[in-house]
C-alpha cells in the first residue's frame, strides 16, 4: 500500500523505521507537528519523526492544524491507501479521516478499551497494572474508541518507569503496526469493536499530578515517581523549593519516620510515608543536575526532624 505516516516524538520513530524496512509498502510522506522551540536558546527544532523522514528522503508535511486546506489538498494529491499513526499529537477531522481508502490506523500503547487518552503508559504504571500492551485500531472521531485490528501484551516490571515501559512498547508495537498494514492490504485482518466494559481514561498528567503526597502509602509514592519519570517529573518541596524525585527504593517494614520526615545515614536518605519508609536514591534540586540523594543530603545539611513537602513553593 501507499502510506502516509503520522507521528511526532521519539517513541514514534521505531514504527516509522519498521514500515520503511518492510519492503512491502511505500511510505510516500510523513505528517508531523510543526517545529517547536527547544533548549535554552528556544530555537525551533524539527520533531524526531521529521528528522528521521528527512534522513530517509521522504516528504514531510507539518500542518499547523490537520484541517488546513493546503495540507488536505496535498494529502488528496498523494492519495494514500492508509495512514498509520503513532503519537501524532493532534485531533484529526472527519475530512482528513475520509481521504485514505483504508482510513487512519493508530498504534496506541494500552490494551483498549483500557487507558484511552494521551498518557496510557503513565496511568498504567500509576495504577499498578501488572500487564499492559499496545493495540492498533481504526481512528474515528471518538477518543481512541475505534475498532481494534490487533494487540500485543507486555508485562509491567516492578521497577519500570513510564520511560522504560514506553520504550519497550514502541519497539514491540512497531512490529504490530507493520503486521496490521500487511493484514489490511491482503484482506486477512478485520477490525473488531471494542468492548463496552472496561473503559478507563488516561488524560495527560499535569505538574500537580506529579507532586508526591508523603501521607500516601509507600507503594503509591513509588508508583507516582515511576509513572512521572521522565515526564512530567515527580517532585516535592524542600525548604520552599522544588526537589525533583528521579528514583526511590521501597524497603517494607521500617516505619520509624513521620510522613515526609527525613533521616540521613552515612550513605542513605530515608523518608517517611503513610505506611513505611522509602529511600531516596536520585534527586534533582532546582537549577541543578541530577545527583545521588546521599550527595544532595550532605550538601544541604539536613537538620533532625526536617521534612519534604512541609511547605509550599516559595
Whole-number Å distance between alpha carbons of 165 and 233: 16
C-alpha cell belonging to residue 88: 501524532
The binding site for (6S)-5,6,7,8-tetrahydrofolate consists of 110-113
Whole-number Å distance between alpha carbons of 290 and 46: 27
Alpha helix stretches (DSSP H) within the chain: 13-22, 48-55, 69-78, 94-97, 120-127, 162-186, 218-227, 293-300
Spatial CA neighbour of 107 closest among 77, 125, 87, 123: 87
β-pairing, 59-61 vs 26-31, is parallel
Which residues have a Cβ under 8 Å from the Cβ of 22 and sit 6 or more positions away? 178, 181, 182
The binding site consists of 110-113
Amino acid at each position: 500500500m501507499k502510506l502516509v505516516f503520522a507521528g511526532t516524538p521519539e517513541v514514534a520513530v521505531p514504527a516509522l523505521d519498521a514500515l520503511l524496512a518492510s519492503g512491502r509498502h511505500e511510505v510516500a510522506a510523513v505528517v508531523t507537528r510543526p517545529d517547536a522551540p527547544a533548549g535554552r536558546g528556544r530555537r525551533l527544532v524539527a520533531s524526531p519523526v521529521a528528522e528521521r523522514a528527512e534522513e530517509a528522503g521522504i516528504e514531510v508535511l507539518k500542518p499547523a492544524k490537520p484541517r488546513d486546506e493546503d495540507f488536505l489538498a496535498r494529502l488528496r494529491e498523494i492519495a494514500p491507501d492508509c495512514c498509520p499513526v503513532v503519537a501524532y499529537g493532534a485531533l484529526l477531522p472527519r475530512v482528513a479521516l475520509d481521504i485514505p481508502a483504508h482510513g487512519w490506523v493508530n498504534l496506541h500503547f494500552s490494551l483498549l478499551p483500557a487507558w484511552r487518552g494521551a498518557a496510557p503508559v503513565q496511568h498504567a504504571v500509576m495504577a499498578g497494572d501488572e500487564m499492559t500492551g499496545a493495540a492498533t485500531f481504526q481512528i474515528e472521531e471518538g477518543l481512541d474508541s475505534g475498532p481494534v485490528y490487533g494487540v500485543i501484551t507486555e508485562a509491567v516490571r516492578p521497577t519500570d518507569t513510564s520511560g522504560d515501559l514506553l520504550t519497550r512498547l514502541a519497539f514491540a508495537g512497531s512490529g504490530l503496526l507493520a503486521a496490521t498494514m500487511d493484514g489490511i492490504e491482503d484482506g486477512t485482518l478485520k477490525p473488531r469493536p471494542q468492548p463496552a466494559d472496561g473503559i478507563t481514561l488516561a488524560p495527560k498528567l499535569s505538574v500537580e499530578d506529579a507532586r508526591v503526597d508523603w501521607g500516601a502509602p509507600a507503594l503509591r509514592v513509588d508508583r507516582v515517581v515511576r509513572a512521572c519519570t521522565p515526564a512530567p517529573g515527580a517532585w516535592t518541596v524542600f525548604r520552599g523549593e522544588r526537589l525533583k524525585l528521579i528514583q526511590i527504593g521501597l524497603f517494607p517494614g521500617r516505619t520509624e519516620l513521620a510522613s515526609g520526615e527525613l533521616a540521613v545515614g552515612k550513605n542513605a536518605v530515608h523518608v517517611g510515608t503513610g505506611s513505611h519508609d522509602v529511600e531516596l536514591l536520585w534527586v534533582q534540586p532546582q537549577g541543578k543536575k541530577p545527583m545521588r540523594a546521599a550527595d544532595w543530603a550532605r550538601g544541604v545539611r539536613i537538620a533532625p526532624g526536617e521534612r519534604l513537602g512541609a511547605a509550599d513553593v516559595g
